[in-house]
Structure 1
Amino acid sequence: MLIDCDSCTARGTGCADCVVTVLLGAPPARRATAPVFLPVPPVPAAEDAVVARAGVVVDLDDVERRAVRALAEGGLVPPLRHRPAGGGRPDGRRRTG
């Protein structure tokens, strides 16, 4: 699955509540002996959302996609809000039947 923020029809309005914003905005990992606790910032309003810079493409394989879906269903991260410009499904699959 390729997520291209430049072609997302929900870009701007959907960014504040999209898992891509959470993934790209995560602080860099630190190697320390003790855990480092960072304060959780308040959820931004839609107009304050950080929009991914042009050219950002996120590639998720099946395992990563299932992990993100499980986190979203558990309320730990927002769901994927990406909507491809062609009107297809966000996971790139086609409906059958």
Structure 2
Amino acid sequence: MDYIDENTLVIDCDRCQVRGDACSECVVSVLLGAPPSVEWDSAEQRAVNALADAGMVPRLRLVDEQPARPRRRAG
């Protein structure tokens, strides 16, 4: 997940590590049909969380790719 600023969440489905396997249980797919990228501001995030808390939509299932960690050398 990326943030443009503290109020805007960018969901890039192309970078999701569980894309395909978890799409049917993800709120993005339920609401928008698995687009390549979505931007939600803080009000939209709260609304989606409220819908999920009420059991009306599934939660966001995004598992964002993590940048590779530099390896440490022993010695």
Regarding TM over 0.5, the answer is yes
RMSD between aligned alpha carbons? Answer: 1.5
User: Structure 1 residue 59: deviation in Å?
Assistant: 0.2
**In the alignment, which of 77, 85, 90 is matched to residue 57 of structure 2?**
77
Name the structure with the higher helix share: 2
Which one has more relative contact order, counting CA pairs under 8 Å at least 6 apart? 1
Residue type at the aligned position of 2:27: V
Structure 1's unaligned 5+ residue stretches are: 26-51, 88-97
Q: TM-score normalised to the size of structure 2?
A: 0.72
Q: Which runs of 4+ in 1 moved over 6 A?
A: none
**In the alignment, which of 29, 39, 44 is matched to residue 59 of structure 1?**
39
Describe the SS at the equivalent of 2:18: coil
| Paired residue total | 59
Percent identical among aligned pairs is: 51
